[in-house]
Structure 1
Amino acid sequence: MPALKLLSVFALMMVLLWLRAPLAPVIFGSSCLLALLYRLAPAAFLAALRQTLTDPATIELEIVLVLIMLFERLLGKHGYLDRMLAGLHNLLPNRRLLAAMLPAFIGLMPSLGGAFFSAPLVAQATADTPLSAEEKSFINYYYRHIWEYCLPLYPSLLITSRVCELPLTKLIQALLPYGLLVALLGWPFLRRIPVAKGRPGTGCYPLVKEVLLNILPVLAIVLMVLVFQVRVLIAVGLVLGVLLVRHRYTPLQFLPLFREAVQVKILVLVLGIMFFKQMILTTGAVASLSYLLEALAVPEFIVFGIFGLLVGIITGTVSYSMGIIFPVVVAATGGQVSMPLAVFVFIAGFTGAMFTPMHLCLTLTVDFFRADLRQVLRMLVLPEAALLVVAAAVYIIAT
């Protein structure tokens, strides 16, 4: 059965990823294996590769990722986040809000393992509280990731938008309520923190100003993309350009910044994801997988949800998960991925990625607080399950 070829390739991918094989070689190797199993002619294989490399959507995505890497490095190098966090720490007398907002603000920058940077801040904010190491780990890890549902700086959103051919602004608008819901679902875990820290509330204007001024570059991008519907390429490029001028970068100074910031392995990985999508389309696996899903008695959105959950658990990274999940979903649906389905599958993949030690943020957080991983995972069950149920209910109502 033709569909079994695609499923066998995917199963092999999952085994290799479970064994912690490097993701980029797995993706490219799977694309080549697809070509062999479907007996794709060498000329057709090269044509698919050429189409991937010259696709304007792929080129734009790669440029956006480079700009985001530069933007993040520039903010860190010039102390924007440090000053913002210092002001925030002095501004909020409510320790519950402070404990949640510290990792959330670090999460404004999509760094791998970013929870490790916020862990010392959360430890300081929750010092002398009755919280266990597991509760502190949960707060740091959970609130670190609330922006990935709606912040256009995250590659997971960019990849989902490109692969599913959905407008980024519309996708963010559809996912924004889930980011808010995540923040609310985590609130019960903050209730054991005393509300007041005893800090005087006078003279807060300079602190507010300090926080706003240092978060302004990120806010500018978000406002341009969400409110004025500026393309993320232009929004990030404009803000990055302003920062480079403000800090008086010359071409000679920019080159070291570029070398420090740009991670070639991520760019290669994204290219592999887009090539994998193109190979699924070129080999004709689209039709065979669609027929297989139609023959199953289980609703296809449940199949996609389980699929996304498993991929998230195995990869442990939301952006990588979306790059594996959505090419298959696009193939199975014949290229017609509705917004409700994209949102549900995104939530499923995200949920899976939150429940695995392969997620670098989880491993680093648990190690920092010397917490019991199993207890932290148990604390995640209720809010993550509630989020997944809501996404499923919204999909059912919408369709």
Structure 2
Amino acid sequence: MENQFVVSLLAVPALWKIGLSLALILVVQKFSRSLLAGVIAGSALLAFWAGHSPQSALDIMLESTFTFDGMMLLAVIVLVILLSSQMANSGMMAELVAAVQKRLNRRASVALLPALIGLLPMPGGALFSAPLIDDCDRDKALPPMEKTRANYWFRHIWEFWWPLYPGVLLTIELSGLKIWQLMVVMFPLTLISVLSGYLFILRRIPKDHAIHVSEEGHHAAGQILPLLSPVLIVIATYLGFMLLLPGTEVFSKYLPMVCGLSLAVLFVQVRRPLDRKTWKTMILSRRIISMVAIVAVIRIYGAYIESPLPDGSSLIVLLRSELAAQGIPAGLLIILLPFIAALTTGLTIGFVGASFPVVLSLLGPEPTALQIMQILPFAYGVGFMGMMLSPVHVCLLVTNKHFNTGLTSSIRALIAPVAFTALGIILVGGLWMMV
């Protein structure tokens, strides 16, 4: 009787196994407030429901984690967080803000300040940029909702393609694309996002004149480019590897990023040295530990979907055959899964990790780079829009709290720019489908 139950349980369609593992991730994340706990639960359910023994599940877990490329990805995550903490603790970020305020009018500053903060991904980073927008509105001429929308929207314009974001790095890892390929296909979405932000948000904000900066601020406000030098070092190093050492990606596609980030960290330490106590606090922060753990577990979740099952088949093959038999359009799932995951997790790394292993499996066993690039604007772009409307997105919550605006009214105020950006996503995706 027990054996029959086990056989019946294993005979459940692959679509249900994957779908319920995704649902478990979202439910556990909602109640535990921990994405890590959710992905661990979903991975465990998927592994054993698919038919893997404890030993084979452990083998897959180790193989997906302890590869050279996998370890380099985790190194990138650690270095990104360290660099962002370094720039904040050394005062470079505050000086960058003062430099912007000294040179630009109110409208431009309200957009550029959160965008500059967004170059260095920080969880809840909108809380860092919200007070800066208040500095641009010292006469209290702007309604709180306008400041909420500007801070939240322009904080995220880079997250479509900027390779310092963990969600972007995870997309590169799961898709197998090269960094430049993802950047080429996704960069137009940033331009559309900026246009959308201008049409529906910035036009409501008067230009006025450059913000008055105190005498102390004038001394702190150095040149903008030197203050952005750590980020420029990362970009220059990556371009140098691409042009001078193009074969580097044979060893690891993350090696140029690791080298660039390491140089940037060293540069900041030489220019603005931090003491041992500060370094110890940064290195041992829960932020680093939790982000590394999340990325590692999401890789394991994807590996369970791709790995051969004990009977020689795979969840990918079974899923495609089931969809074909039931007539469910794969294109519909490519859009719905990321959107639902994004709306419920409020995180880029959350919707990418939860839905992309499934989305990419719908393209076949060995999709070409072009096939992946063709569906990426739809899957990632629609997921991103779901994240921007998510009521559990930390950046939106902290922005609401700072400006004392309502969550429901803030989401309603974002519908117009999100809808316009969604039209742009359809346009970009359609153009790539014609390639």
Amino-acid identity (%): 27
Q: Report the TM-score, using the length of structure 1 for normalisation.
A: 0.91
2:264 aligned with 1:242: no
1:263 aligned residue (275, 288, 299): 288
Asked whether the equivalents of residues 311 and 325 of structure 1 are also in contact (C-alpha less than 8 Å), the reply is yes
Asked whether the equivalents of residues 117 and 129 of structure 2 are also in contact (C-alpha less than 8 Å), the reply is yes
- Give the CA deviation at 1:67: 1.0
1:311 aligned residue (319, 341, 344): 341
- Give the CA deviation at 1:301: 2.4
Letter in 2 for 1:156: G
- Give the CA deviation at 1:290: 1.6
Label 1:20 to 1:353 Cα distance change in 2 as closer, same or farther (>3 A).
Answer: farther
Distance 1:332 1:380 in 2: 31
Q: Which moved more, 1:124-133 or 1:95-104?
A: 124-133
2:17 aligned with 1:5: yes
Match of 1:321 in 2: 351
- For structure 2, the residue ranges without an aligned partner over 5 or more in a row are 1-12, 213-217, 243-254
Map 1:340-359; keep pairs closer than 5 Å: 340-359=374-393
Match of 2:428 in 1: 394
Match of 2:198 in 1: 187
Label 1:162 to 1:345 Cα distance change in 2 as closer, same or farther (>3 A).
Answer: same
Asked whether the equivalents of residues 151 and 222 of structure 1 are also in contact (C-alpha less than 8 Å), the reply is no
1:137 aligned residue (148, 155, 159): 148
Distance 1:310 1:295 in 2: 24
1:168 aligned residue (164, 179, 183): 179
Label 1:198 to 1:382 Cα distance change in 2 as closer, same or farther (>3 A).
Answer: closer
Alignment size in residue pairs: 395
Match of 2:29 in 1: 17
Asked whether the equivalents of residues 74 and 292 of structure 2 are also in contact (C-alpha less than 8 Å), the reply is yes
- For structure 1, the residue ranges without an aligned partner over 5 or more in a row are none
Letter in 2 for 1:31: S
Distance 2:286 2:39 in 1: 24
- Give the CA deviation at 1:130: 4.7
Match of 1:104 in 2: 115
Match of 1:232 in 2: 257
Q: Indicate the RMSD between aligned Cα atoms, in angstroms.
A: 2.6
Distance 2:23 2:168 in 1: 25
In the TM superposition, what whole-angstrom CA distance separates every residue of 1:284-333 from its partner, at most 9, and x where no partner exists? 21112222333455542232111111100100011222111211112232
- Give the CA deviation at 1:256: 4.8
- Give the CA deviation at 1:105: 1.3
Distance 1:123 1:76 in 2: 19
2:332 aligned residue (302, 316, 335): 302
Label 1:253 to 1:156 Cα distance change in 2 as closer, same or farther (>3 A).
Answer: closer
Distance 2:289 2:121 in 1: 16
Distance 2:422 2:238 in 1: 27
Q: Report the TM-score, using the length of structure 2 for normalisation.
A: 0.84
Label 1:193 to 1:394 Cα distance change in 2 as closer, same or farther (>3 A).
Answer: closer
Asked whether the equivalents of residues 353 and 359 of structure 1 are also in contact (C-alpha less than 8 Å), the reply is yes
Q: Which moved more, 1:347-356 or 1:261-270?
A: 261-270
- Give the CA deviation at 1:103: 1.0
Q: Which moved more, 1:388-397 or 1:234-243?
A: 388-397
Q: Which moved more, 1:216-225 or 1:182-191?
A: 216-225
